[in-house]
Amino acid sequence: MRIEDHLRHSAGRLETKTALIAGETQLSYRELDSQSDRLAASLIAQGIKPGDRVLMVAENSAEAVVAFFAAWKAGAVPCPLHASIKPDKLCVIIKSTAPFAILAQARFCSVVDTALAGEISSPVKISFGSMPEKRSDGWLAYEALIAHDGTTALPPQPDSEALALLIHTSGSTGTPKGVMHSHVSLLAACGSITGYLDNSADDIVLSVLPISFGYGITQIVTMVMVGGTVVLEKSFAFPRKILARLVETRATGFPIVPAMAALIAVMQDLQPAFLPDLRYMTSAAAAMPPSVTERLRNLLPETQLFLMYGQTECIRATYLSPEDADRRPLSVGQAIPGTQVHVVDEAGDIVPPGVTGELIVEGPHVMAGYWRDEMASAEKVTAIDGGRRLQTGDLFRTDEDGFLYFVSRRDDIIKTRGEKVSPQEVERVLYALPGIREAAVAGVDDPVFGQLIRAYVALEPSAALSEKEILRHCATHLEDYMVPKSVEFRDALPKTSTGKIRLTAEPSAPEIKDSAA
């Protein structure tokens, strides 16, 4: 069974039930199925073939959800990208994926055009939304494509092992890696999630999570699988508006990241049980501080809180059930149903409780590998009976009862606001600013965002850059979640014996100068 088959099944039994609410748009299951049929037919008429890639540069929206299912119905592979992606990174991904089509919200059309400048390939460009002044010639209107008369027959797509999704995540080098999930692996993860969350057609899930990464995408797929309703909001920038929206929509599920939970926890005027319809909340992307967990449980005593751990490479790996949260508030739980996890040493042997080792994840939900990167794929994934084995690169330990505890990441990836950030990528932007002689980036623990990005720089003797100028430069060239929150100025950065800059290198770091404001 493929992902789009679940939409057809839900549309067949729940025709008029609301499947999706996004802003002012509301689609029933019949409408979501029909619109995605028509867009798929238009893509086929344009010449799309099974396996072709469809890049998506858009905020949470009904059009993006329709595009996901249209791509699957055409046998294609959706590749959602963060809406704030910059042209340089988009250009790299375009070169790598050679997309047949690019779907973009109108406000991001200029970013796509800039990324395509000078490229030999000319993908089909589809835009939706207002702001037509942002679109240049050569863009097809989404609205016209879904008005297709539907006479083009949709070919059957029987291969459930086919590639279903490319999610780009930064590796330790900062180069975007395309994580490949098949219909089987994505449905295995989502099926497991719906099981431990006890999802049903009665659920209404409100999500502010970007549809460019796994945690956001699973909210759509899981609700379609069970015939529930998903309500998409663009961000958590205005928390009280989202809390009011939860009440208004009578949401039963609310996926969050710890940064969101912390913002809710500091609101002093909230009354206990202020969300009476909310059956559960889930949290992933970073560790939840126990103090925040306690505050949420006091505010929402009837709401179940599921703490989870996962990677893009396996969507989800573990969950801590609400009944275990009180006894083990620092744990991330145990393996999700239908999968296995182990903590192993460098020889691959399972370590005893209390000993730190690398987390290994096994099951049908593990990715097929990295797009066009056989070497990196071989280092992370091994085929086994019933699925694949993933070496997460993350360090864990277990207790005597087999519950898992995150220790640290083996690489230096910074996780902030639920996103992974490569220090090298930020450092390259810093070095591009005239006047910076040395640069390094690190994550600083933060109770709200998990980590904040801090830049450490040493200036040229003649330079007089201020913190504000450096941050403005970063904001011009990086997605918003990658921009450092502070800058520390030093005479020189510490180095290893081989001359590599390393903030933890010995001897101890040089004296820190006052920030040049």
Question: pLDDT tens digits for the chain (517 residues)?
Answer: 999 999 999 999 999 999 999 999 999 999 999 999 999 999 999 999 999 999 999 999 999 999 999 999 999 999 999 998 999 999 999 999 999 999 999 999 999 999 999 777 799 999 999 755 555 678 999 999 998 665 667 888 989 999 999 999 865 456 789 999 999 999 999 999 999 999 999 999 999 999 998 999 999 999 999 999 999 999 998 999 999 999 999 999 999 988 788 889 888 899 999 999 999 999 987 677 787 888 899 999 999 999 999 999 999 999 999 999 888 988 999 999 999 999 999 999 999 999 999 999 999 999 999 999 999 999 999 999 989 999 999 989 999 999 999 887 676 778 888 887 878 789 889 988 989 988 889 999 988 888 999 999 999 888 899 999 999 999 999 999 999 999 999 998 886 534 457 786 543 333 322 232 2
Q: Which residue has the tokens 């699988």?
A: 225
pLDDT of residue 151: 62
Any idea of the CA torsion for 105, 109, 115, 118, to the nearest 10 degrees? Answer: 140
pLDDT of residue 415: 86
CB 364, CB 390: distance < 8 Å: no
How many whole angstroms separate alpha carbon 240 and alpha carbon 272? 15
End-to-end CA distance of the chain: 59
- The set of long-range contacts for 260-266, using a CB threshold of 8 Å and a minimum separation of 24, is 260/208, 260/236, 261/288, 261/292, 261/293, 261/296, 262/289, 262/292, 262/447, 262/448, 263/236, 263/239, 263/448, 264/239, 264/295, 264/296, 264/299, 265/291, 265/292, 265/295, 265/296, 265/299
How many whole angstroms separate alpha carbon 168 and alpha carbon 212? 8
Nearest to 453 by CA among 392, 503, 408, 496: 503
Query: Beta 253-256 vs 486-490: how paired, if at all?
Result: unpaired
Residue 101 identity: A
Q: How open is the CA angle 69-188-412, to the nearest 5 degrees?
A: 95
- Taking residue 197's Cβ as centre, other Cβ atoms within 10 Å add up to 20
Query: Beta 357-363 vs 340-344: how paired, if at all?
Result: antiparallel
pLDDT of residue 135: 54
pLDDT of residue 506: 40
Residue 498 identity: T
Q: What is the 3-state secondary structure (H, E, C) of 434-465?
A: CCEEEEEEEEEEECCCEEEEEEEEEECCCCCC
pTM: 0.83
How many whole angstroms separate alpha carbon 83 and alpha carbon 87? 11
CA distances to 45, 350, 402, 406, 467 from 396, rounded to whole Å, are: 50, 12, 11, 5, 37
pLDDT of residue 152: 64
CB 436, CB 427: distance < 8 Å: no
pLDDT of residue 450: 87
Handedness of CA 472, 429, 460, 513 (dihedral sign): positive
φ/ψ region of 108 (left if φ > 0, alpha if ψ in -120 to 50, else beta) reads alpha
